[in-house]
Structure 1
Amino acid sequence: MDHDHYSDDYILDILRSVKTIALTGASPNPARPSNGVMGYLLSRGYEVVPVNPGQVGKRIQGQEVFGRLVDVPVPVDMVDVFRASNYLSEVVDEALAMNPRPKVIWAQLGVRDDAAAAKAEAAGIKVVMDRCPAIEYPRLIG
């Protein structure tokens, strides 16, 4: 897949089909982008599960925090990655260990690793990089 350009239909299909999102790198700090995006996604009806090993057992935006993707107790449709690009491969490996696996890995603005994306895609997982669902949702859905 060409990760320099995504069709609106590709992004729209993801945003409409996803129900449960694991948000890695979730922060309890309201000034952090991950916190704001999590709140936005919750307000749009998504179930969002925060993942942050330093916040395990606490709550962010009212949701219980888990330490790793494999600890999330519900099936996840999408993993939203608020981690630096050099961690994307590790997140993909964690996602591949999930059962069932997520359908989508979405790497936030500035997050890109083409080799990690290729690994996820080879396993049948859709990938979006260097985009934000909180920007794409209002642009495409309103």
Structure 2
Amino acid sequence: MNHDHYDDSYIADILGSVKTIALLGASLNPARPSHGVMRFLLQRGYHVIPVNPGQAGKQIHGQKVYARLADIPEPVDMVDVFRAAEFLPSIVDEAMALSPLPKVIWGQLQIRDDTAAAKAEKAGIRMVMNRCPAIEIPRLGL
């Protein structure tokens, strides 16, 4: 897939079909983008599960924080990545170890690794990179 451009229908289909989102790199700090995006997604009715090893066991926006994707006790539809692009290959590997597999791995703004994306897509996981659902949802009128 060409990750330089996404059809609006591709993004809308993903955002309309996912319900449970693991937010990797969730922060307790209200100044961090992950904090605001998590709040936005929760307000839009998504079930958002924060993941951050340094905050495991605490709560962000009333949701229990887990250390790793593997620690989440329920299936997730999408992994929303707030980590540096250099971590995307290992995040794809971690997501591919889940059962069932997530439907989508979403790399936030400036998060892109085409090799990691190709690996995920080969396993049947849809990829979005260098986008933010908190921008895309209002832009698409969802």
Q: Partner of 1:77 in structure 2?
A: 77
For residues 93 and 70 of structure 1, the distance between their equivalents in structure 2, rounded to whole angstroms, comes to 11
How much does 1:102 deviate?
A: 0.2
State how far apart, in whole Å, the 2-side matches of 1:68 and 1:111 are.
19
Q: TM-score, with normalisation over the residues of structure 1?
A: 0.99
Give the corresponding residue for 1:67.
67
Q: Which runs of 5+ in 2 are unaligned?
A: none
* Residue identity (%): 70
Question: Aligned letter for 1:14?
Answer: I
Distance 1:83 1:74 in 2: 22
Q: What is aligned with 1:22?
A: 22
1:79-118 matches, within 5 Å, as 79-118=79-118
Match of 2:6 in 1: 6
What corresponds to 2:52 in structure 1?
52
5+ residue gaps, structure 1, are: none
Mapped partners of 1:141, 1:29: distance in 2: 28
Shift of 1:74: 1.0
Q: Distance in 2 between matches of 1:76 and 1:119?
A: 19
Aligned to 1:122: 122
SS of corresponding position for 1:21: strand
Distance 1:26 1:119 in 2: 24
Q: CA RMSD in A?
A: 0.6
The one-letter code of the counterpart of 2:38 is: M
User: Displacement of 1:141 after TM fit?
Assistant: 2.4
| TM-score, scaled to structure 2 | 0.99
Residue deviations 1:115-138 (CA, integer Å, cap 9, x gap): 000010000000000000000001
> How far apart are the structure 2 equivalents of 1:39 and 1:88?
23
User: When the two structures are aligned, how many residues end up with a matched partner?
Assistant: 142
